[in-house]
A and B are shown apart, each in its own frame.
Chain A
Amino acid sequence: MREAIEAWLFVSPIVTGFLIFFLGPLIAVFFYSMTEWNLLSQQATFVGLDNFEDALTRNPDFWHVIRNSVIFAAGLVPLNMSLALVLALALSRPSFGAVFFRTIFFAPVVTSAVAWAIVWKFLLQNEAGAVNQILALVGITGPNWLREPDWAMVAVIVTRVIKMVGLNMILYIAALQTIPRDYEEAARLEGASNWQIFSTIIWPLLAPITLIIMVITSIGSFKVFDHIYLMTGGGPENGTLVLAFYIYEQGFKFFNVGYASALAIIMFFVVLALTIVQLALRGRNAR
Chain B
Amino acid sequence: MNLTQRQLRIITRVCWTISLTIVAIPFVFPFLWMVSSGFKSPTEIFGQPTLVPRVWRWDNFVEVFTYQPFAQQYFNSLYIAVAVTALTLVIASLAGYALARLRFAGAGLLMLFLLSALMVPEEVTIIPNFFLIRWMGLMDTHWPLILLPVFGPHGVMATFLMRQYFLALPKELEEAGKMDGLSRVGIWWRIALPMSRPALAAVAIITFLFSWNLFLEPLVFVSSLKLFTLPLALSNFTDPYGTPLWHLQLAATSLAVVPVLIVYLLAQRQIIESFAMSGVKG
Given contacts A107-B261, A111-B261, is CB(A229)–CB(B275) below 8 Å? no
A3 and B235 contacting across the interface, CB-CB below 8 Å: no
B257 at the interface (CB under 8 A from A): yes
Other-chain residue from A25, A118, A174 in contact with B132 (beta carbon distance below 8 A): A25
Complex-state Cα separation, A115 to B46, whole angstroms: 20
- A103→B102 contact, CB < 8 A: no
CB <8 Å contact, B128 and A32 = yes
Counting chain B residues whose Cβ lies within 8 A of the other chain, the interface size class is 35 or more
**Per-residue A-contact encoding for B123-145, CB less than 8 Å = 1, 0 else:** 11111111110000000000000
Interface presence of B39 (CB below 8 A): no
- For A28, the chain B residues whose CB sits under 8 A away are 128, 131
Contact A110 B271 (CB under 8 A): yes
| Chain B residues in 8 Å Cβ range of A24 | 128, 132
Contact A120 B30, beta carbon cutoff 8 Å: yes
Q: Does B55 sit within 8 A of A, measured CB to CB?
A: no
- Convert A187-214 into 0s and 1s, putting 1 for each residue whose CB lies closer than 8 angstroms to a CB of B: 0000000000000000000000000100
A7 contacts B250, C-beta separation under 8 Å: no
* Docked pose: A230 CA to B147 CA in angstroms: 25
Taking CB atoms, residues of chain A closer than 8 Å to B130 are 251-252
Q: Given that A7-B98, A108-B27, A115-B256 are contacting pairs, would A14 and B151 also be in contact in the complex, using a CB cutoff of 8 Å? A: yes
Question: How many angstroms from the CA of A14 to the CA of B113 in the assembled complex?
Answer: 12
Stretch binding the partner chain, chosen from A48-56, A57-65, A122-130: A122-130
Residue of A nearest to B127 (CB): A251
Query: Roughly how many angstroms separate A225 CA and B218 CA in the complex, as a whole number?
Result: 13
A103 to B262, CA, bound (A): 12
Report A27 CB to chain B, min CB distance, Å.
8
Given contacts A11-B94, A122-B250, A114 and B231 within 8 Å (CB-CB) = yes
Contact with B along A21-41 (1 / 0, CB 8 A): 110111011001000000000
Residues of A within 8 A of B269 (CB): 99
Q: Chain A residues near B230 (CB, 8 Å)?
A: 112, 114
Q: Are B279 and A212 in contact (CB under 8 A)?
A: yes
- Which residues of chain B in 222-244 are interfacial with respect to chain A, using CB atoms and an 8 Å cutoff? 230-231, 234-235, 244
Q: Known contacts A10-B97, A14-B114, A25-B129: does B23 contact A87 (CB below 8 Å)?
A: yes
The answer to whether A113 and B120 touch across the interface, beta carbons within 8 angstroms, is no
Q: A14-B92, A107-B31 are in contact. Are A90 and B235 (CB under 8 A)?
A: no
CB atoms of A113 and B282 under 8 A apart: yes
Whether A112 contacts B231 by the Cβ 8 Å rule is yes
A3 to B184, CA, bound (A): 9
A130, A164, A271: the one contacting B49 at CB < 8 Å is A130
**Are A267 and B123 interface neighbours, CB within 8 A?**
yes
Residues of A within 8 A of B99 (CB): 11
Q: Which residues of A contact B235 (CB under 8 A)?
A: 114, 118, 230
Number of A-B residue pairs having CB atoms within 8 Å of each other in the complex: 260
Contact of A248 among B216, B250, B253 (CB under 8 A): B216
A10 touches B46 (CB 8 A): no
Chain A residues near B70 (CB-CB < 8 A): none
Chain B residues whose C-beta falls within 8 Å of the C-beta of A108 in the assembled complex: 27, 30
Is B220 in the interface zone, CB < 8 Å from A?
Answer: yes
Is residue A261 contacting chain B, with contact meaning CB distance below 8 A?
Answer: yes
Could you tell me if A90 and B123 are in contact, using CB atoms closer than 8 angstroms? no
A contacts with B: majority SS: helix
The reply to whether B17 and A97 contact each other, CB–CB distance below 8 Å, is yes
Cross-chain contact of A114 among B34, B120, B213, B260 (Cβ < 8 A): B213
* Interfacial chain A residues near B129, Cβ < 8 Å: 21, 25
Given A28-B128, A115-B234, A18 and B151 contact (CB-CB distance below 8 Å) = yes
Residue of A nearest to B93 (CB): A10
- Residue B10 interfacial (CB < 8 Å): no
Q: How far is the CA of A13 from the CA of B147 in the complex (A)?
A: 11
> Most A CB atoms within 10 A — which of B103, B126, B275?
B126
Q: Nearest residue in A to B150 (C-beta to C-beta)?
A: A17
**Closest residue of chain B to A158, judged by CB?**
B26
A164 touches B151 (CB 8 A): no
A260 within 8 A of B: yes
The residues of A that contact B216 with a CB separation of less than 8 Å are: 225-226, 248
- Shortest B121–chain A CB gap in Å is 4
A107 touches B128 (CB 8 A): no
Q: With A112-B213, A268-B121 given, can you name 16 additional A-B contacts, CB distance below 8 Å?
A: A17-B147, A17-B155, A21-B152, A22-B125, A24-B128, A25-B128, A28-B128, A103-B268, A107-B264, A111-B31, A112-B231, A114-B215, A115-B253, A216-B280, A223-B121, A267-B121
Q: Top 7 nearest A-B pairs by Cβ distance?
A: A17-B151, A10-B98, A25-B128, A7-B102, A28-B128, A7-B104, A4-B104
Identify 22 residue pairs between A and B in the complex whose beta-carbon atoms are under 8 Å apart, listed by A's number: A4-B102, A4-B104, A4-B105, A6-B98, A8-B104, A10-B102, A21-B152, A22-B125, A29-B124, A99-B269, A110-B209, A112-B230, A118-B235, A118-B249, A133-B49, A170-B275, A216-B281, A223-B122, A223-B123, A247-B126, A251-B130, A252-B130
